[in-house]
Each structure stands twice: as C-alpha cells, then as structure tokens.
DNA sequence: GCTGGCACTCGTTTGCTGGGAGTGCCAAGC
DNA sequence: GCTTGGCACTCCCAGCAAACGAGTGCCAGC
C-alpha cells in the first residue's frame, strides 16, 4: 500500500535525484527534507516503494533511483506546477510581442522555451491546413514570369514563381486576380485548391492556357503541407549538462536531426492540456531514457501545432510543464491577435 | 629542413590519425603506407617534424599527433581535393533542383552538406543588403489594415502588416502602389528605404498620413537585416562520433546555439575560394580544438553569404573542402538562375 | 508502528605491477 | 651521408587486490 508518507518519500527521492543525478539514500533523504521520521522508517517505506516498482536500486549497496513508473506517479499525483515568476512572465511577453511575423514567433518561442527550461525545446510550425485564404496576389515580374502570393488567415505568406509560355497582358492578369480571389477568399486552403480546378474553363476561355498555369501553381502552393512537417529546435547544448552520453545524450542528439521523429514525439496534444510522456511510454525504444513534455497551441482551442521540451527522464517535470504551458499560452494569444 | 619524404610522412600521419583517432607510431606508418623506407628512418623524420612543430608527442613512448601547424601544412601543401563522385554530384543537383524557394534551398543545402561530410554544416541565409527591389505589392485586408509585400531580386519575399488610423480607399492604395514602385523598383534596398522618405510629401498631400504609415513599415522591412544574421545548422548528431567530449564536443555544441558565434566562424570568405581555419587560428579560444572549412556563395562572384562545416581539428580536410566547394557552386548556380 | 543498532553487501578508490608500444641513439652497411 | 637493424629506456595502461565506505535489511526494544 502506498500511503501519504510514502508519496512524500517518493517525491523527495525524485527531487533529490533530479538535483544530484545520483542514487539517493535514506540518510541523505531525512537530512535534506524534513520528513519527521528516522532513516530506518524511510528505508521501510523505500522497500515497499521498490516492491511496487516505483523506485529501483542499481545495486545492493546503493541508493534508490525512480523508475519510469515512479516518475509517472510523481507527475500525476505530486507535481504542483511551479508558477512562473513575474520576471519570467515579463520576459516571455516582451520577447514574443517583438516578433515581426509568424516564423519569427516560432523561432523566438523555441529559443525562449529552451532557455526557460534549460532543456531541448521543440516548436512545430503552425499547420496551414486549417487556415483560410485571405487574399491572393498576382504580380507580373516580366511578361512571361509572374509571382503568385497567397496570404493566409494565420498571417502566413506563401509565394511561388510561375513561368508562362506566352506573354500575359496586365489586364488579363488583373481579371484573373479578381476571379481567383472570388473563388478562394475566405475558404480553407484545401477547399480553395479544389475550387481553383474549375476556373480555367469558367474565365476567359481564350486565356485558359495562362489560367491553367497560374492556377496550377496556386493550387500546389495551397496544398503544400511542408509546414506541417517543419519544426524548430533549440537548446541542444543543454544536453551537455547530462552525463550518460551513450544512453541519454547520443540517441536524443540523433533524434533531433530527424524532424519526423520529433513530430511524432510532439504528438497531437490538446490545447491547454500538458502531456507528459516518460521514457518507455514514448514511441521509440532508443529514446527509453528521454521524456517529453508537450502541449498544443492555437487560437481559441484550435490546434495549430504542438510545442514542448525533451530531455532525460530525470528532468524537472514541474518546471518544464509550467514553462511549456506558459509559452504555449502566449503563442496562442499572439496567433489570436494576428487573426482578427 | 622539410623535404619531400618528410611531407609524405606528415601526410601519412595526418591521414592515419584522422582515421584512427589515435597517435600513430613509426611501425604502423610503414605498414599502412608504402613509404619504401624502414621505421627507423621514419622515426628520424618524425624527430625533425616534431622539432619544427608540425607534430607532437602526447608523452614519451606514444605515437605522434599532428599539431595545428601540421594540419596547416597538410592543407596548404598536400591536400588534393577529392573530386566528388558522380553519384554525389547527382545527389546534390537533384536535391537542390527540387527546392521551391530560397529558404528551402538553404535548408536543403545545410542538410546535404552535413550528410556529405558527416560533420556539422552551417549555411548562412543570403544577405538581403545587396539585393534590389523587384516589386512592392500593397494589399488591403480590411479598410484599416493592409499588408505590404516586398519582392527582392534574390526571390526573397518580405511581408509586414500595416495598421492604419483611418480607412484607406482602394483607389488611393492603388496610387500609392504605383508611386512606391516607381520610387523603389530596381533600387538596392538600402537606397530604396531612403528614397521612400521623400514620398509622403510628393504624393497626394491629403493622404500623407496614410502614406507615412505604409512607407514607414516598408522602409523598416527593407532595412531589416535580420536575415544577415540567420544561419541554418545541421548535423549536430555527427559530433557524437567524436570522443573527447569536454574539449571538442561540448564547446562546439554550445557554439552552435549562438548564431552570432557561427557567423563569425563562417567569416567573409570569397566566392569559390575555400578557406580553412584550424584550431587556434580561429577567433575563439574555447574552440581551439575545432576547425572550420568555409566558402562564400552567390551568383556571379557576388558574395551573398557563406557556408561551411565545422568539426574537430582532426577532420577529413580534403573531403570537407571538396564538399563545401561543390555545394557552394550548386547554390550559386541556383541563385543565379532565379535571378534572371 | 517507529527507532537505533549492527552485520553485510558491493561498488569505488587506491596502490601496485607486468606487459607492451613506441621512442632515441648507436654502430654498421650501402 | 643517409639508411637500417638492434637495443636499452620510458611511460602508459590494463589488471588485480586490498581498503574503504555508503547504503541496506533485519531485529529487538520502545
């Protein structure tokens, strides 16, 4: 049976182990935390905790180390989210308010998150799939070369070059611009890309050739899900703080290069709900020694992407969870503002 | 005196040490390279090389290790650039030809370079400062909110939101668009930003308020040198291959987070001239154990940015130099094509 | 049910030693 | 005069044993 005091002991073990990176023994425990009982009692509790699988002893005469299950219990039952200090809050808001565009927001956030948590931070770029087309602009660069620019509701701008076989008159371009905007404005990009398919025949049949070229590139730009797969990473240097190079650092360092892996790690967590995946709970056996703290972000509960931190299972969960939630909220707020 | 055979010995030492990561002795040397002389002779040569400071002995009864000075001589005198294999060439061109825009080129290049060299690759985003304005587009999103879009000669697109105090009529916006383009089209961005200063009074005095707002944001977008400071990094996981965590890996890992440091490392190397900076030759004493191989890129010898690889002094210089040069050439070519 | 005492376990540190890799030097040979 | 084989010497390192000590489990007493 795991009663309150045993939970206290578990919490103390987790905290000490996170702080010292060394197995923690009964004596050190009662010295550093005022548990109000003697080492012998703590030892009895530890024996039970070990039997239940929450802690583990590397070898006979060593202290105890939390298991993944122990961390899990710690996170579920014990972690009171440390609130951010006002200084930290101010740092977040001033930094992110200074961002000039969406990419800037992402890059600043990821940097910030890694600095706040002293861990490796990951921020997924906002997905485009749920955004709507705000405006399409066509610009003639030369008579046979135009640039199409798609402005999305999230504030993101996609641009593509179009090469034409024959010159296109400005008047025709203007007409095409009107037609395209009429067809796509306010429509979700996937639907907008589909809607464009009907245009070539509907507008100026004699210009169908041009229309088809422009519309083709436009549709491609709108169905480009490149962004859905992009992530920004920061703070790899924080891994250097950890020992255990081969089991903890190296696999993670390798994973950081594989953005697909990172996306899977981030998962699809809901907005405002912080998810913690501990060690083996994650999808990769090589990353059994790393934990992930993530949450979704997006204006008004619309999930646009995920962000979070990764690090060794032995990480500061309460601090990481608080920072992840705080940053996600600010990012959501900024996306909300840009959206009006 | 350093004659030809001693150079051969030095080369052999460098090659073996790079391959094995271990001090190399005279016996192993004659076995693995057909130098045509006995170990004793090689020892005599090594004694001279050591006296001259090209190699170093960690301790008595150990093999020799090249010094920074030794690598320098190796690079200057001995390294014949390995040509890229045709498979590698094809990989480069197919990958980079598939890039859809400038950022994509940069991201694909850096990835590619790190894979080719199995080192950490760094690519600076092309600087905007030398590019000219190709077109400025103004788009009304709501009556009091507009988006300004600047298309540059390099193909880069900058966008900014403008908030207006009072509604702006479409006709006025159109007129402003014409005026702005007349003032800036084909002009280098710095000059264009300056030229915009005169606009508010010259065009429609009664619209000066609006003009000033739009022009202000435009000028800001044009003088935004954010891009000059941006770099893409890839291949940090390759550091894991190296031992010597504290002296070689950790400082570099930390440097990778500091883009300012990376920019300084990249330096301002000329297009088509590969620069090698070995160990202490670089600007940072913490990075005394790392070397940098860089070159500039840009269409028609116009330096738009730099790219390169960093790694421990014990790196494969010929291979790295060849890969850096090859990638830079392809990037230059692509920028050139987009520029026509 | 908590506590102090105590014997026990076992990883780590320290000190030592033998083997081996590699060198420098020397005398002889081409 | 350069090259070569031989040889004594140096010094790192792997391997081992002993001492150490942190931490435990268990037990008897409160």
Q: Which nucleotides of D are covered by protein (CB under 7 A)?
A: 3-6, 9-12, 21-27
B86-127+229-338 and B132-225: same fold?
Answer: no
Closest residue (Cα, C1') to D5: B40
Cα-trace Rg, chain A: 26
10-residue mean pLDDT profile of chain B (340 residues): values are 86 93 91 88 93 92 93 86 85 84 88 95 89 86 85 80 85 87 88 81 70 87 78 91 79 90 88 91 93 92 91 94 93 76
How many beta-carbon pairs under 8 angstroms link A with B? 79
A-facing residues of B in 2-41 (CB < 8 A) are none
pLDDT at residue number B288: 92
Q: Straight-line distance from CA B97 to C1' D25, in Å? A: 69
Whether A204 shows a pLDDT value over 70: the answer reads: no
Cβ atoms within 10 Å, residue A164: 16
Render pLDDT for A57-75 as a digit per residue (tens, 0 to 9): 988 888 899 999 999 999 9
pLDDT at residue number B339: 55
Start-to-end Cα distance in chain B: 54
Indicate the domain borders of chain A.
1-77, 86-127+229-338, 132-225
Start-to-end Cα distance in chain A: 54
Whether A340 shows a pLDDT value over 50: the answer reads: no
Q: Which fold has domain A86-127+229-338?
A: Beta-Lactamase (3.30.450)
Whether A293 shows a pLDDT value over 60: the answer reads: yes
What CATH number matches the domain at B132-225, 1.10.10, 2.60.40, 3.30.390, 3.30.70?
Answer: 3.30.390
pLDDT at residue number B48: 94
* Run of H or E residues at B227: none
pLDDT at residue number B249: 84
Provide the shortest C-alpha distance from residue B221 to chain A (in Å). 10
Which is higher by pLDDT, B62 or A228? B62
Whether A253 shows a pLDDT value over 70: the answer reads: yes
A97 touches chain B (CB under 8 A): no
B-facing residues of A in 232-291 (CB < 8 A) are 234-237, 239-240, 245, 249-250, 253-254, 256-257
> Diameter of chain A by CA atoms?
92
Closest residue (Cα, C1') to C2: A41
Mean pLDDT of A325-334: 91
Copy the structure tokens of residue B284.
């940072």
Copy the structure tokens of residue B217.
């944001």
Whether the Cβ atoms of residue A235 and residue A118 lie closer than 8 Å to each other: yes
Q: Of B278, B239, B275, B274, which is closest to residue B255 (Cα–Cα)?
A: B239
pLDDT at residue number B223: 82
What CATH number matches the domain at A1-77, 1.10.275.10, 3.30.2090.10, 1.10.10.10, 3.40.920.10?
Answer: 1.10.10.10
Q: Give this prediction's pTM.
A: 0.85
Average pLDDT, chain A: 87
Integer Cα distance of A105 and A127 in angstroms:
14
pLDDT at residue number A123: 96
Beta bridge pairs of residue A160: A148
């Amino acid at each position: 049976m795991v009663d309150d005091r045993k939970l206290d002991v578990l919490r103390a073990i987790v905290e000490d182990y996170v702080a010292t990176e060394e197995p923690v023994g009964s004596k050190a425990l009662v010295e550093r935390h005022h548990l109000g009982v003697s080492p012998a009692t703590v030892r009895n509790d530890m024996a039970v905790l070990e039997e239940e699988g929450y802690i583990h002893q590397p070898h006979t005469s060593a202290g105890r180390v939390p298991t993944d299950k122990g961390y899990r219990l710690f996170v579920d039952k014990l972690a009171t989210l440390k609130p951010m200090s006002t200084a930290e809050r101010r740092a977040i808001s001033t930094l992110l308010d200074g961002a000039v565009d969406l990419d800037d927001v992402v890059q600043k956030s990821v940097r910030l998150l890694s600095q706040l948590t002293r861990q490796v931070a990951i921020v997924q770029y906002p997905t485009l799939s749920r955004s709507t087309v705000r405006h399409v602009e066509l610009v003639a660069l030369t008579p046979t070369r135009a640039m199409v620019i798609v402005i999305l509701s999230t504030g993101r701008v996609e641009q593509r070059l179009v090469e034409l076989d024959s010159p296109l008159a400005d008047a025709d371009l203007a007409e095409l611009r009107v037609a395209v905007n009429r067809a796509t404005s306010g429509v979700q990009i996937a639907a907008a890309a589909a809607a464009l398919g009907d245009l070539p025949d509907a507008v100026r049949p004699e210009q169908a050739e041009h229309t088809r070229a422009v519309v083709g590139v436009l549709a491609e730009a709108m169905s480009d899900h490149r962004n859905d797969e992009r992530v920004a990473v920061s703070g790899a240097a924080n891994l250097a703080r950890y020992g255990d190079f081969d089991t903890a650092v190296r696999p993670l360092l390798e994973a950081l290069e594989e953005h697909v892996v990172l996306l899977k790690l981030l998962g699809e967590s809901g907005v405002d709900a912080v998810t913690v995946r501990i060690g083996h709970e994650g999808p990769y056996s090589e990353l059994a020694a790393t934990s992930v703290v993530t949450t979704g972000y997006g204006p008004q509960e619309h999930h646009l992407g995920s962000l979070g931190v990764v690090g060794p299972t032995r990480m500061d969960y309460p601090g990481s969870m608080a920072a992840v939630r705080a940053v996600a909220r600010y990012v959501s707020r900024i996306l909300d503002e840009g959206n009006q």
